[in-house]
């Protein structure tokens, strides 16, 4: 049963990633694209954790932790760049 | 003496728990190594911590934490409904909330709380730290919305941080 | 029993993740779009992380708490990035939806860039 539920969850999160990716492509403004990237990395954390449950391996936890840190830094850097035209003064 | 060994007791405790969680084990070696880290890191970084981290009234803070968690749960469902319904009837709006709270850490916790509870995002803080600009997804009555945020989140935070 | 609880948690998490992305996809205007992902995704990932924690605790027989590190980190960083993005949008002057109500006093500033 758990396997079926995990397959359904993979499908749902993939659809969510696809929708964020669509917004990343069409997003009328640069800041919309930053928001779409932010959502995309959070979705990828979700799918990695689900895959970790599927494979019964805690290896994917480290990947998810790294993505969450790097994604946050990336969002901040992109926002700062849009705000000032420069990241580090 | 305790000040020399533990300049920041809360930071030490936090680091200790963090390292144990990261390793996901309670083996003796991990506990000892994390204790060493929890003592050494605050000593070496203490020049960068200008003000002491303190937590007055931890019980009140815990109660505040529970209220926020509950609100996140409830309003997530509300916002999910708003998103899945037709979006033409939504009335988004900006409201400037006058802040009574002065402590900078309190203000940042308030802004984070507002952003975490669905339906509201804190957008900007004015330069004089007197007003917080909040965006509402569906704004019915600006006065009562601002009043609710003040009563529900700002009052407990002020009680926690007023003495700092 | 354990599988049912786990399945329900996973499905709730996946559903809220999807709702966040649907919000990103269909809401009009940047400020309204900001509400979808930063909220629903946080709860979605949070529920999935709780499910993972329960699963590994039962599977390995020892307490598995490191998932809560990600949850803690996301709960600290999600509001910060949302705040910064909306601040950027306010300063760039991103277009709002026409029916947006505005109760900001105009006396404040164009120079709060910090």
pLDDT score recorded for residue B117:
82
Pick from A22, A45, A83: which is nearest to C88 by CB? A83
Residue closest to A52 by CA, chosen among A39, A41, A65: A65
Say yes or no to pLDDT of C108 above 80: no
Chain B adjacent subunits, 3+ CB pairs under 8 A: C
Q: Kindly indicate whether the ipTM for this predicted assembly is greater than 0.90, answering yes or no.
A: no
A79 occurs within a structural domain: yes
Residue pLDDT, tens place only, A2-49:
889 899 999 999 999 999 999 899 878 888 888 899 899 999 999 999
A73 occurs within a structural domain: yes
Pick from B92, B126, B135: which is nearest to C112 by CB? B126
Residue pLDDT, tens place only, B111-121:
888 888 877 88
Of A62-71, B32-41, B52-61, B96-105, which has the strongest mean pLDDT?
A62-71
Q: How far apart are CA C86 and CA B97, in angstroms?
A: 16
A40 occurs within a structural domain: yes
pLDDT score recorded for residue A17:
92
Record: contact A13-C14, CB cut-off 8 A: yes
Domain boundaries, chain C: 2-92
Say yes or no to pLDDT of B162 above 80: no
Predicted confidence band of residue C87 (pLDDT cuts 50, 70, 90): confident
Between B1 and B32, name the one with better pLDDT: B32
Which C residues 61-80 touch B at CB under 8 Å? 62-66, 68-69, 75-76, 78-80
Say yes or no to pLDDT of B20 above 50: yes
> Which residue does chain C place closest to A26, by CA atoms?
C25
Q: Which structural domain range is residue A31 located in?
A: 2-84
Does B73 lie at the interface with C, CB-CB under 8 angstroms? yes
Does A19 lie at the interface with C, CB-CB under 8 angstroms? yes
Mutate to test the interface with B, among C24, C34, C35 (most CBs of B within 10 A): C35
pLDDT score recorded for residue C112:
45
Does A56 lie at the interface with C, CB-CB under 8 angstroms? yes
Pick from A17, A32, A58: which is nearest to C33 by CB? A32
CATH code for B58-161?
3.30.70
Say yes or no to pLDDT of C84 above 50: yes
Say yes or no to pLDDT of C70 above 60: yes
Say yes or no to pLDDT of B110 above 80: yes
- As beta bridge partners, residue C103 has B95
Give the closest-approach CA distance of B97 to chain C in angstroms.
9
Residue A32, domain CATH: 1.10.287
Instruction: List the single range of B2-6, B93-97, C20-24, C98-102 with lowest mean pLDDT.
Output: B2-6
Residue pLDDT, tens place only, A36-88:
998 999 999 999 999 998 888 888 888 988 998 999 999 999 888 888 876 66
A89 occurs within a structural domain: no
Contacts of C1 (CB under 8 A, 6+ apart): none
Domain boundaries, chain B: 2-48, 58-161
Residue B151 DSSP class: I
* Token pair in block for residue C11: 């499905």
pLDDT score recorded for residue C114:
41
Contact indicator for A12, C17 with CB cutoff of 8 Å: yes
Question: HSE of C96 in the Cβ direction (CA atoms, 13 Å)?
Answer: 16
pLDDT score recorded for residue B13:
83
């Amino acid at each position: 049963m758990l396997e079926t539920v995990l397959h359904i969850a993979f499908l749902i999160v993939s659809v969510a990633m696809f929708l964020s990716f669509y917004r990343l492509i069409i997003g009328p403004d640069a800041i919309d694209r930053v928001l779409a990237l932010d959502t995309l990395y959070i979705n990828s954390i979700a799918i990695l954790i689900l895959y970790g449950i599927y494979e019964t391996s805690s290896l994917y936890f480290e990947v998810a932790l790294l993505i969450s840190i790097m994604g946050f830094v990336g969002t901040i850097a992109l926002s700062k760049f849009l705000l000032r035209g420069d990241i580090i003064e | 003496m305790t000040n020399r060994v533990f300049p920041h007791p809360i930071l030490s405790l936090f680091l200790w728990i963090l390292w144990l969680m990261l390793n996901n084990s309670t083996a003796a070696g991990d506990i000892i190594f994390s204790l060493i880290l929890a003592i050494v890191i605050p000593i070496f970084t203490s020049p960068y911590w200008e003000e002491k981290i303190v937590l007055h009234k931890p019980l009140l803070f815990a109660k505040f934490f529970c209220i926020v968690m509950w609100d996140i749960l409830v309003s997530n469902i509300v916002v999910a409904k708003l998103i899945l319904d037709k979006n033409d009837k939504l009335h988004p709006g900006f409201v400037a909330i006058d802040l009574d709270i002065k402590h900078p850490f309190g203000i940042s916790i308030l802004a984070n709380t507002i952003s975490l509870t669905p339906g509201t995002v804190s957008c900007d803080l004015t330069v004089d730290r007197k007003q917080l600009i909040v965006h509402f997804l569906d704004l019915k009555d600006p006065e009562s919305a601002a009043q609710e945020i003040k009563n529900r989140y700002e009052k407990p935070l002020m009680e926690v941080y007023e003495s700092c | 029993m354990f599988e049912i609880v786990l399945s329900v948690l996973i499905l709730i998490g996946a559903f809220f993740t999807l709702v966040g992305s649907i919000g990103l996809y269909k809401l009009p205007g940047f400020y309204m779009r900001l509400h979808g992902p930063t909220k629903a995704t946080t709860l979605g990932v949070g529920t999935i992380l709780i499910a993972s924690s329960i699963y590994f605790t039962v599977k390995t027989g020892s307490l598995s708490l490191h998932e809560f590190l990600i949850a803690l980190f996301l709960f600290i960083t999600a509001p910060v990035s949302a705040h910064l993005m909306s601040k950027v949008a306010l300063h760039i002057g991103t277009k709002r939806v026409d029916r947006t109500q505005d109760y900001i006093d105009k006396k404040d500033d164009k120079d709060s860039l910090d």
